[in-house]
Structure 1
Amino acid sequence: MDLGHGLGHLSYSTLVHAGDTWAEMKESLHTFVPAVKARVSPGQRFGVSLRISADSARTLTDSPAERAELRTFLDDNDMYVYTVNAFPYGPFKGDVVMERVYEPDWSTDDRVAYTNSVADILAEIAPAGVSPSIQTAPLAFAPNVTDDDYIARFTTNLFQVVAHLVDLEARTGRRVKLALEPEPACFLETTAETVAFFAERVYSPQGIAELARLAGLPLSEAEGAMRRYLGIVFDIGHQSVGFEDIPGSLRSLVDAGIPIFKLQEAAALWVRDLTPGVVPQLRVFTDTIYLSQTTMRQDGAVTKFLTLGDALDAYEANPVPTEIRTHFHVPVFLEELGPFVTTRFAVQQALQLHRETPLSDHLEIETYTWDVLPAHLKTGDITDYVTRELEFVRGELLDPRP
């Protein structure tokens, strides 16, 4: 939904629903999204953040009838697509995902072709007056980036998609934006690393010249095109896991001229003071199909782990005063989870900054872990929970508490 006041479009990520194939995504779209709309936006068009996997992209690309049916469904239900999650290429629900979620990464032709096809679909299904965004992976899983050639390869592939977006707007009049999402354990992890990558690889003379060549643009237009089509998703939860100062990180992106094409409201699990007695309760959160990247702070020193289980093992081997944050997306309306807390405060900080000076025209709540939350933390059904999240974020922006 368009929040007005320049605050942008807000919805929730349909990554929370089954959607590995188009048949699954379509069923989820028909089942859940109208029910959420009826609660939070009954008299106003409702924005949809649509997950499109590679399998779904092939189905929609090959079937004009499916695309037409999707547009009709959206129109008939007073809904519109303004952003697509094209981060997970393959299966994301019901099977162990872990680091496979980053494959194929941006060094591959498959990632380029997939992203281009999603852009073409968006140009057709998004409404006039909306410049839709594509959320994509943070280039590569960090351990896989072995040398400069790897970096050069995925940077060139990124520029190939930007060139496609330039051509797409020239042909259709529709601007589609590509947004990289930094994430723990990836090549783009911290805000500082993201700023450095854009300065050294994207906005550098060499980067601008490469885009000019790929897109057939004069140098005088290539830098503007780079900023027009390529930016980032700022996931508040991801950056909170790394103990970043969220307002400071957002300001550094603005100062660097890097477009925040999507501001993602997500909260992480946070344990201020880890004790041996708490560990068993925390291990409940290790039974998950996703990576649970965890940052541990002990005596001012920070250590990073791929999973929460690994971090807890390390703590038990050396049980000194410890604070941890872990990449487990928890409902943004919750400040406490039993004996633990969440980084909801960081979401509130970011929303306050956005309220004062809008940072992005696309906002999205991304809590996709409802199905793997411990049972005692679930209250109501998925529609109840999504509705509460949307009402919380909308309230923070339009009716903030003193």
Structure 2
Amino acid sequence: MDLGSGLGHLSYSTLVHAGDTWAEMRDSLETFLPQVKARVSPDSAFGVSLRISADSAETLAADPAERRRLSDFLGAHDMYVYTVNAFPYGPFKGGTVMERVYEPDWTTDDRVEYTNAVADILAEISPAEISPSIQTAPLAFKPNVADAAYVQRFTTKLLRVVAHLVELEARTGRRVKLALEPEPACFLETTDETVDYFRDHIYTPNGIAELAHLAAVPISEAEGLMRRHLGVVFDIGHQSVGFEDIPRSLQKLVDAGIPIFKLQEAAALWVKELTLELVPQLRVFTDTIYLSQTTLRRDGVATRYLNLGEALDAFEADPGPAEMRTHFHVPVFLEELGPFVTTRFAVQEALQMHRRTPLSDHLEIETYTWDVLPAHLKTGDIVDYVTRELEFVRDELVG
């Protein structure tokens, strides 16, 4: 839904629903979206954040009738697609995901072809007045990045997609934006690393010249086209896990001229004072198919772990004073979770900043961990949960 006053479009990520194939995603859309719209946007158009897996992209790209069916469904229910999650390439529900979510990474042709296909679909199904965004993986799982040559390979592949977006707009008049999403344990993890990557590899004479060559445009136009089509997703929860100061991090991106194509409202689990007595209650959150990247901070020094269980093991071996944050998406409308708290305050700080000076025209709540939340945190069904999150964010912005 368009919040008005330049605050942008707001919805929730349909990554929360079953959607590994297009048949699953279509069924989820038709089942849940009308229910959510009826609650939060009954009298105005409702924006949709659509998950498109590689399997779904292949189906939609090959079947014009299926694309028309999707467009007809959206039109009949007064809905519109303004953003796509094309981060998970393959299955995301029902089985172990972990670091497989980053594969294939940006060194591969598979990632390029998948993203280009999603862009082509978006240009067709999104409204003419919308410049839709594609959320994508943060280049590579950090342990896999062996050397500078690896970085150059995924940079060139990334620029191939930017060149495709330039050509797509020239051909169709539709601007599609690609947004890299920094995440713990990835090549783009911190805001500082993200700024460094754009400064050292994208906004450089070589980077601009490479795009000019790939897109067959004058070099005098290439830098503007780079900024027009390539930016970032800022996931508040991801950056909170690393104990970043969220307003300061957002300002760093603004000062560096890196477009924030999507501002993602997500909260992480936060334990202000970790004790041995709390460890058993935290282990409930380790039963998940997803990575739960975790940061322990002692005396101001942060230590990162790939999973919550590993962090808890380390703490039990050395149970000194510590606080902890973990990449487990929890309801943004909750400040407390029993004996724990959340980083909801960081979401509120970012929204206050956005309310003063809009940072992005695309906002999104990412609630994909609903199915693996401990049972005591689930009140109502998924429609109730999503509705409360949307109402919370909307109220923070427009009152």
**Shorter-normalised TM-score: what interval?**
over 0.9
What residue in structure 1 maps to residue 62 of structure 2? 62
| AA of the residue aligned to 2:119 | A
Distance in 1 (CA, whole Å) between partners of 2:42 and 2:191 is 37
Q: Distance in 2 between matches of 1:27 and 1:198?
A: 39
- Amino acid aligned to 1:361: D
Whole-angstrom distance in 2 between the partners of 1:135 and 1:300 = 32
Match of 1:324 in 2: 324
Shift of 1:372: 0.2
Q: 1:17: how far off? A: 0.2
Partner of 2:122: 122
CA-to-aligned-CA distance 1:6-56 (integer Å, 9 cap, x gap): 000000000000000000000000000110000000000000000000000
Alignment of 1:1-20 (within 5 A): 1-20=1-20
SS in 2 for 1:156: helix
Number of equivalent positions: 399
Counterpart secondary structure, 2:368 = coil
- Give the whole-Å Cα distance in 2 for the aligned partners of 1:371 and 1:173: 39
2:136 is aligned with 1:136: yes
Q: Alpha-carbon deviations, 1:352-374, whole Å to 9, x = none?
A: 00000000000000011010000
* Cα offset, 1:89, TM superposition: 0.0
AA at the equivalent of 2:275:
T
1:396 Cα shift? Answer: 0.1
> Cα distance, 1:132 vs. partner?
0.2
> 2-side partners of 1:343 and 1:152: how far apart?
35
Percent identical pairs in the alignment equals 79
* Residue 128 of structure 1: how far off its partner (Å): 1.1
Partner of 2:273, secondary structure, is strand
Equivalent position amino acid for 1:24 in 2: E
Equivalence for 2:187: 187
- CA offset digits 1:318-349 (Å, max 9, x no partner): 00001000000001001011110000000000
Q: How does 1:320-399 map to 2 (within 5 A)?
A: 320-399=320-399
* Counterpart-to-counterpart distance in 2, 1:82 and 1:7: 14
Q: Determine the C-alpha separation between the residues in 2 that align with 1:71 and 1:382.
A: 24
Q: Which residue of 2 aligns with 1:243?
A: 243
> What one-letter code is carried by the residue in structure 1 that aligns with 2:240?
S
Structure 2: runs of 5 or more not aligned: none
Q: How does 1:2-401 map to 2 (within 5 A)?
A: 2-399=2-399
Write the deviation string for residues 58-107 of structure 1: whole angstroms up to 9, x where unpaired. 00000000000000000000000000000000000010000000000000
- Secondary structure of 2:30 counterpart: helix
Amino acid at match of 1:102: Y
Q: What is the alpha-carbon distance in structure 2 between the residues aligned to residue 23 and residue 269 of structure 1?
A: 33
Amino acid at match of 1:315: F
- Shift in Å at residue 301 of structure 1? 1.5
TM-score (norm 1): 0.99
Q: Distance in 1 between matches of 2:376 and 2:224?
A: 50
CA RMSD for the aligned pairs?
0.4
Q: Which amino acid aligns with 2:42?
A: P
> Alpha-carbon deviation of 1:299?
1.9
CA deviation after TM superposition for structure 1 residue 300, in Å: 1.9
The runs of 5 or more residues in structure 1 that have no matched partner are none
Supply the AA of the counterpart residue of 2:245. D
What code does the residue aligned with 1:198 have?
F
One-letter code aligned to 1:113:
E
SS at match of 1:274: coil
Distance 1:16 1:180 in 2: 20
TM-score under structure 2 length normalisation: 1.00
Runs (4 or more) in structure 1 with deviation over 4 Å come to none
Task: Please list the CA deviations of residues 274-321 of structure 1 after superposition, one character each: whole Å capped at 9, or x if unmatched.
Answer: 011000000000000000000000122210000000000000000000
